A and B are shown apart, each in its own frame.
Chain A
Amino acid sequence: SSELTQGPAVSVALGQTVTITCQGDSLRTYYTSWYQQKPGQAPLLVFYGKNNRPSGIPDRFSGSSSGNRASLTIAGAQAEDEADYHCHSRDSSGNHFVFGPGTRVTVL
């Protein structure tokens, strides 16, 4: 399969930790990248690869991967972290990209 799956929604109390996951066969070969998207805005890269966080992204964002599953963790979630989070990777053929359906994170 060339699909990526994500849970639809998760909520987290302010200051607590939340982990969202992405699953797909292609993740056994390719690393995931993660994008934060707020309403009316373009996606923003927040984590990619084995252990890479773009400049300007807070270190409360971290990622991990194992087998066919990848995770994005927000440690000490802030109100501004409330957004949709999309995972992305190459598909199993290696010639196309796929996105997960997105996970909405609500900060309570």
Chain B
Amino acid sequence: QVQLQESGPGLVKPSGTLSLTCGVAGGSVSTIHWWNWVRQPPGKGLEWIGEIYHSGTTNYSPSLKSRVTMSVDESKNQFSLKLTSVTAADTAVYYCARVAYNYPTYYFDSWGQGTLVTVSS
């Protein structure tokens, strides 16, 4: 079973850029799967941020699209998230996750443990 691990700063200043990386172990990022970021503000529900394929094709949440960039590094077997112009509303646990699919079914079959990112000065 593939294992995912998020890494990056746990504290980001307002108006700064949040940068996270997800390492993939026990499998390759260069597969048919899509690689996703999901976040969860404290005490709230899950929010999808976006997804990337190993070719670099991306889909982003319409509500975050103007601030999100995702990338994939096949040589390091990892993918990354950048979120610009952050505010306190971006404080959340950020998860990386793998999507498997067989149309019309899509499901997150592997998740990282999550990393809390706090936006504060």
Interface residue ranges, A against B (CB under 8 Å): 29-31, 33, 35, 37, 42-45, 48-50, 52, 54, 86, 88-90, 95-102
Q: What 6 additional pairs, Cβ within 8 angstroms, besides A31-B105, A48-B107?
A: A29-B104, A35-B108, A42-B114, A43-B46, A95-B59, A99-B48
Encode contact with A along B77-107: 1 for CB under 8 Å, 0 otherwise: 0000000000000000001000100101111
Q: Is the CB of A99 within 8 A of B109?
A: no
Who on chain A is nearest to B101 by CB? Answer: A90
In the complex, A101 Cα to B48 Cα: how many Å? 12
Q: Is the CB of A98 within 8 A of B48?
A: yes
Interface residue ranges, B against A (CB under 8 Å): 36, 38, 45-48, 51, 59-62, 95, 99, 102, 104-109, 111-114
From the candidates A43, A50, A99, A102, name the one contacting B105 in the complex (CB within 8 A).
A50
Q: With A42-B113, A42-B114, A43-B111 as known contacts, state yes or no: A31 contacts B104, CB within 8 Å.
A: yes
Residues on A with C-beta less than 8 A from B113 are: 42
Residues on B with C-beta less than 8 A from A30 are: 104-106
